[in-house]
Structure 1
Amino acid sequence: MLRIVAIIATTFPALAHAEAFQRPIPQPQSATAEWWFLAASLALLASLLAVHLLVRRR
């Protein structure tokens, strides 16, 4: 199998060259996504407070 790949790579050198890496362009966040992130952050803080109160009582 490796021999076949080597033969193809030497016969067709254009197939052996990799394409240049293109960096992905980050997309901006939408306003809806920011509100969901705010809600998730507040839920996380509330759950951490609840755990703190439960553990402190022990």
Structure 2
Amino acid sequence: MRLPLILAAILTPAVAAGETFQRPIPAPQTAQAELSYLAASVIMLLALVAVQWLVRRR
């Protein structure tokens, strides 16, 4: 029973040691992403106008 405990105590620091944190490099925004954002913005505005129109009619 002692041998596994001693072995675990010896090997645990080696396993627990990690590499240093490296900041992620942000990817540049692509034309596809800009187009998707534009489409989502237009749809959101249309939805807000539709809600305003429905609420005003009430």
Following superposition, which runs of at least 4 residues in structure 1 exceed 3 angstroms of deviation? Answer: 4-7
* Residues 1-58 of structure 1: CA deviation (Å, up to 9, x unaligned): xxx68852x3123222122111111101111210111011001000100000101111
Identity value in percent: 52
Counterpart Cα distance in 2 of 1:49 and 1:23: 41
Structure 2: segments with no counterpart, 5+ residues: none
Higher relative contact order (CA 8 A, sep 6+): 1
How many residue pairs end up in the alignment? 54
Question: Which structure: larger Rg?
Answer: 2
Structure 1: segments with no counterpart, 5+ residues: none
Show the counterpart of 2:35: 35
Q: Which amino acid aligns with 1:43?
A: I
What is the aligned-residue RMSD (CA, Å)? 2.1
Q: TM-score, normalised by structure 1?
A: 0.74
